[in-house]
Amino acid sequence: MEFKIIQQSTCCNPNTGCCEQDLPVAVIGAGPIGLAAAAHLKERGVSFFVLEKGEISANVRSWEHVTLFSPWQYNIDKAGKRLLVNADWQEPQGEKIPTGKELAEDYLLPLSEVLAPNIYTNHEVISITRDGIDRMKSTNRSSQPFLLYIETPNGLKEMKAKAVIDATGTWGNPNPVMSNGVWLRTEKELASSIDYHIPNIEANEELYANKRIAVVGGGHSAINSLLNLVALKEKYPKTSISWILRKNRVEDAFGGGSNDELAARGELGVRISEYVRNGQIQVITPYHIRRIRKENGIVLESQEKVLEQFDRLIVNTGNRPNFDINHELRSERESITEAVPAIAPLIDPNAHSCGSVPAHGEKELRQPEPNFYIVGSKSYGRAPTFLMATGYEQVRSVVAYLAGDKEAAENVQLQLPETGVCHSGTGGCC
C-alpha cells in the first residue's frame, strides 16, 4: 500500500510564520502513544501517517500475559476514546485493570481501525533527515521538509513530512546485566539463557522448572517475574529463586505498599516481602555485577563475591532509548538520563515517582530541530517513571501546537495516582 503525498503550492505555518509545502505529519510507532498522537491529529483535521516496524501494538503483545498496574481509566487517551465512541466501540470498565492482551485487543487494535488507512505496518524507519541536507546545513533548514527512509517488505521507501513525532519508545532495547551499564561480548553470547522482559513462565515451564533462576533488578518488573517464579516453585519445589539487587536494603524495593494509590502496584510489594521473609526467595543485596561468564551454567562476579551457577537469568534492569534514526537531525538529550533535556529534572527518579511527575508538553519537548518531537517513554530516556497517561498529555499538547492552537498546547494538565516508589513495569508504560 503506497501513501500518496499531495503536493500543493505553499501554505503558511501559523506556528513558525514560514511557508512550507502542505505535507502530513509523520508519527513513528503504533503503540499507545503513537496511536494517541494519530488520534489527536485526526480529530484536529491534520493530515498524518503512522509508520510501524512490526504489527499494531507489537511491543504490547510481547508482554500480553502481564497485568498492568493502572486501571482502564488511566490507559485510554481522550481523543482516542472520542473517536472510538463515535465508531460504536464498547468501552472497558474504568476501574478494571487490563492485561497487555486486553489493552491491545480491546483498545489499541480498535483504535488503529478507526485511524486506517493511514497506518503502515512492517514499515521500519531507518533514518530521518531534512530533504537534501544533513544536520550540518543551517541555511533555509526549517523550510525543508523531513525525509524519512523506510525499510518495507517491498524494499526501501521514502516519505516526506512537515513534522515528525517519534513515539518509538524504549522497549526491545534493554539495559545489560552489568551494574556499570556496559554490554560485554560474554553476555551477548549467553542471550539464549537470558530474558530481558517479564517472561511468560506459565507457558514455558520447561525453561524454568526445577532450574536455578536468578532475577536481576529492583523494580516492579523484577517483582512480577519473581512472583511468577514463586507460583512455579509451588508446582516444581526444586526450582531455586535468587533475587539480585544493587540496593542497600531489599526493603527499598518493596515500594509504596498500602500507600500506593494504584492498588495493584502496591500489592506487588506486599506479596514479595512475604516471600522474602519466608525464605522462598534468596536475596543477594547489595550486589554489583562486574563480570558474567559461562562455566557449568551462568556465573556472575562482583568485586567481592562470585555467584555460581545459574541455569537462567531474568534481567529486569529497565530499557534505554535508541537514537540511531535521529542521527541526522538536530536533537538533544540530557547527559545523565538521556531524556529530552527540559524534562530531565521533572522526571528524575531520585526525586520523582510516576505519580509526582509534573505535567509537561510541547514547550518542554521541543528540540533544536523545529517540528521534531520525541515523546512517550523515549522522551524519558532511561528514567523509569513513565506512565501512559503522561505520554497522552504530551502528544495532546504537541499536536495542538502543530495545529496552530498555542493556547491549548500551553495548557498542560495531568492527574496521576500518587505512589511511594515507582519503577517501570512492562516497558515503562503502565
275 — phi, psi (to 5°)? -70, -30
Predicted confidence (pLDDT) at residue 257 exceeds the cutoff of 90: no
User: How high is the pLDDT of residue 111?
Assistant: 98
8 Å CB contact between 425 and 221: yes
Q: What is the mean pLDDT of the chain?
A: 88
pLDDT, average across residues 191-200? 96
What is the value of pTM for the model shown? 0.87
Q: What residue ranges define each of the domains in the chain, with the CATH number in brackets? A: 11-172+319-410 (3.50.50.60), 185-315 (3.50.50.60)
What is the separation, in whole angstroms, between the first and last Cα of the chain? 33
Binned at pLDDT 50, 70 and 90, residue 338 comes out as: very high
Predicted confidence (pLDDT) at residue 20 exceeds the cutoff of 80: no
DSSP state of 409: H
User: How high is the pLDDT of residue 417?
Assistant: 61
108 — phi, psi (to 5°)? -70, -45
8 Å CB contact between 281 and 86: no
Predicted confidence (pLDDT) at residue 361 exceeds the cutoff of 50: yes
Amino acid present at 125: V
| Range in 70-84, 295-309, 335-349, 351-365 with the lowest mean pLDDT | 351-365
Residue with the bigger pLDDT between 52 and 251: it is: 52
Percent share of the chain, pLDDT over 70: 87
Predicted confidence (pLDDT) at residue 5 exceeds the cutoff of 80: no
User: How high is the pLDDT of residue 189?
Assistant: 96
Percent share of the chain, pLDDT over 90: 74
Report how far Cα 139 is from the mean position of its chain's Cα atoms: 35
Instruction: Work out whether the CA dihedral 345, 347, 348, 354 comes out positive or negative.
Output: positive
Quote the cell numbers at residue 163.
513534522
User: How high is the pLDDT of residue 352?
Assistant: 55
SS3 379: helix
Predicted confidence (pLDDT) at residue 58 exceeds the cutoff of 60: yes
CB within 8 Å of 129: residues ≥ 6 apart: 135, 146, 147, 149, 328, 329
